[in-house]
Structure 1
Amino acid sequence: MAARFARVALENIQRPYPCKVDHLMTSADDLAPPAVHHPVFHGSYDWHSSVHMHWLLVRLLALFPDLEGAESIREALDRRLRPEALAAERDYFARPSAATFERPYGWAWLLRLQAESIDLAQRDARAVPWSAACAPLADLLAMRLIDYMAIADFPVRTGTHFNSAFALVMALDYAHALPHPALRQAVVARAHGWFGRDRRYPARYEPGGDEFLSGGLVEAVLMRQVLDGCGFAEWWEQFSPPAGELGQWLMPVAVSDRSDPKLSHLDGLNLSRAWCWGRLESSLPADLVPLARQARLDHLAAGLPHAAAGDYAGTHWLASFATLAMSEVSQAAATSAT
């Protein structure tokens, strides 16, 4: 499966079209093909999905250094993650018209890519130039996220690209890898301010029709990271949905049309829920653990068949969430899966 995911990711980053452009033009001079503005992240349908796929390639090398095709992956990343190309990506973000470009989802994935590159570089010298090249853009987006958190009085809870909790989870991984104490401090403070007093989360309102994240479960993943074990247990007791609504998170969702770019998000929801249950399992109340364990497996079974095969609406991004779901689990969940 890892080899299949690697092939999909390599194909995606080299596929320039179709391309969904999010680009604010301030003059006729701004009109150009995507690769001109984004010499690194112009494949795989849109900017953030291209970052997904680059992260996926680095992650697969970290998990399986001798993976079939590993040298092809390294050669591709050598070509793409070049200092001058990433400097051009940073220059794009420095434009006044790009102040909110990819906020916060694309920012979060770029930080996660850099975190993965830093980690891999400690074991694989080939990755050292990749992390060095990505560092200036990651530094810029980390500071931009800190500044954004300082003015964002309210979180975005919808389970799409604008979700606040998911971005903070990914940012924490970067803050730990660098390390970046200021970013971690800002994330922890904002997580408490946004979510610390939540009570009886209304799970009955999930999912929305095009959501690929569970707003409630991602929030719980974030709070698990910013609270110690005892603190999280108390928070979860207050936060957990009312009786009868928890089942909304335990059952995978059906997808009616996988060729529809929005409806196919629901395959991502199944995979991201599996990731959430895996991260949460070891910290949940004992009576919930078997349900969470089964929910993780059920959601994986529902989502995995579509991660690397099917319509491009899904295959340009789903393999990244599948890899998150399978490789980031608590020890208890990993043991049960084997």
Structure 2
Amino acid sequence: MENKLIISPSPHIHSGDSVSKNMYGVLIALLPALLVSLYYFGLGALIVTLVSVLSCVLFEFLIQKFLIKQPQTIYDGSAVLTGLLLAFNLPSNLPIWIILIGALAAIGIGKMSFGGLGNNIFNPALVGRVFLLISFPAQMTTWPVPGTIPMDYVDGQTGATILSLLNEGATELPSYTDMLLGNMGGSLGEVSAIALLLGFAFLLVRKIISWHIPVSIILTTFVFTGIMHLVNPAEYVNPIIHILSGGLLLGAIFMATDYVTSPMSKSGMLVFGIGIGLLTSVIRLFGAYPEGMSFAILIMNALTPLINMYFKPKHFGGK
């Protein structure tokens, strides 16, 4: 009998997706924001990005080879993506030795200590970012002025972000045009709203992510900060400023949508996004720290198993 009947368990439909395909798809979506950061922050952006990416790949290789004895996964793009996202959450004048510590925290603590990709509870890049923010608050909150590109990138002219200006009670802020294009202080990947939205459109078209988490975060933040602005416009700024400034778009589009650390069902994603939006708004408006996106995502990462328990996805073939 030449024609053999092959029997295999369901499901029998394959989407063609893979870890590496999706990881490299996200990397492509981040290219516009990377180009904007290189334009405005120059040498510093290039150094921070290269050191972060290369060190994340190196640390993952060393940990898998010598500590946990796992097959190498550095080729699937996840370590590169962690390094790029970590760089996007750092100022462009951060010293190399601090970047290395952040990369080790992101890969060693945030990812490999849980068993590697697919097992981590928290977003690894945000683990690295928050670790550095707590350990080196002065260096992590010193922001280079866009367009100033000295030969020694660490000693460039520094300024403030929009959120820190608001926290200090300032009234003169960058224009909406500057916020859209990226001509303002901040971390590498958070400054240009247009670049991030272009990446968002690419991810949606390629069906790498769904709209549920980013849109629920943005709408929740807009509604909450909008209500506060209507109640007291003298103290609370227009909600559009909250959407276009800080790391809200970067976090909503590229960090909160991480497959491993976000809920599986569509309804769970909406709950997850609403929680992040509320926490971010509360921290920004009432907390001592001007930015709250990183902490909000990590808190909701911890609640993801609970959300999955109550908001289960439909089983294959279910209605």
TM over 0.5: no
Greater Cα radius of gyration, structure 1 or 2: 2
The structure showing larger relative contact order (alpha-carbon pairs under 8 Å, at least 6 residues apart) is 2
- State the TM-score, normalizing by the size of structure 1: 0.28
Structure with higher helix content: 1
Q: TM-score, normalised by structure 2?
A: 0.29
